[in-house]
């Protein structure tokens, strides 16, 4: 798995690029199937619900390493199977969801290049979101290559 990081000039956006040793369809299923998502995305078993279509909703309860639980909710803003997922994440106190874009591109091997982008309101929010996204991509990469804990 290769890793690349790019932070655009505005300072409140980030972009993470990875190449995973798995076909795009496998990466897509890991990201859009509740039981698979729960295995790599730090979600409590049974807490993940997904209606993967534009306007469909999702929810998951994230479990932190210290045992804290944080319920997350949102909707799917754009869906193009095996290629593009724009996920809206509800943010308390904000009228619009925070959008995270996940692009998949099939490469030879089979490999998949995944590009994750998000724009945040502040540098602090960006840093926190980027750290969380980096952890997710690390875990996703291990999961799709069979290196994840069982």
Read off the tokens for 26.
């496998």
- Residue 147 has a pLDDT of 72
Q: What percent of the chain has pLDDT over 70?
A: 91
Q: 114: helix, coil or strand?
A: strand
Q: Which contacts qualify for 87-92: CB closer than 8 Å, 24 or more apart? A: 87/58
Could you tell me where the beta strands, DSSP code E, fall in the chain?
A: 2-6, 13-20, 49-50, 57-63, 69-80, 84-89, 98-107, 111-119
Determine the Cα–Cα distance for residues 150 and 143; give it in Å rounded to an integer: 9
**Interval 46-62 mean pLDDT:** 96
Flag whether pLDDT at 11 surpasses 60.
yes
Determine the Cα–Cα distance for residues 62 and 27; give it in Å rounded to an integer: 20
- Residue 8 has a pLDDT of 47
Q: In 10 A of CB 82, how many CB atoms?
A: 17
Read off the tokens for 47.
């807490």
Q: How many contiguous H segments (helices) and E segments (strands) does the chain have?
A: 3, 8
Read off the tokens for 38.
């729960």
Q: Which domains does the chain have, with CATH numbers?
A: 2-144 (3.30.530.20)
Determine the Cα–Cα distance for residues 87 and 124; give it in Å rounded to an integer: 20
DSSP state of 53: S
Beta bridge partners, 2, equal 19
Indicate the pTM of the whole model.
0.87
């Amino acid at each position: 798995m290769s890793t690349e990081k790019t932070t655009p000039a505005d300072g409140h956006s980030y972009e993470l690029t990875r190449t995973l040793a798995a076909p795009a369809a496998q990466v897509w299923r890991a990201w859009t199937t509740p039981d698979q998502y729960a295995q790599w995305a730090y979600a409590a078993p049974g807490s993940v619900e997904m209606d993967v279509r534009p306007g469909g909703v999702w929810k998951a309860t994230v479990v932190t390493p210290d045992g804290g639980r944080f319920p997350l909710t949102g909707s799917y803003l754009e869906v193009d199977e095996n290629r593009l997922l724009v996920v809206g994440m509800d943010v308390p106190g904000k009228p619009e969801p925070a959008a995270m874009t996940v692009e998949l591109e099939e490469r030879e091997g089979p490999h998949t290049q995944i590009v994750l982008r998000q724009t945040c309101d502040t540098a602090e929010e960006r840093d926190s979101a980027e750290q969380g996204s980096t952890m997710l991509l690390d875990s996703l990469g291990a999961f799709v290559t069979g290196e994840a804990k069982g």
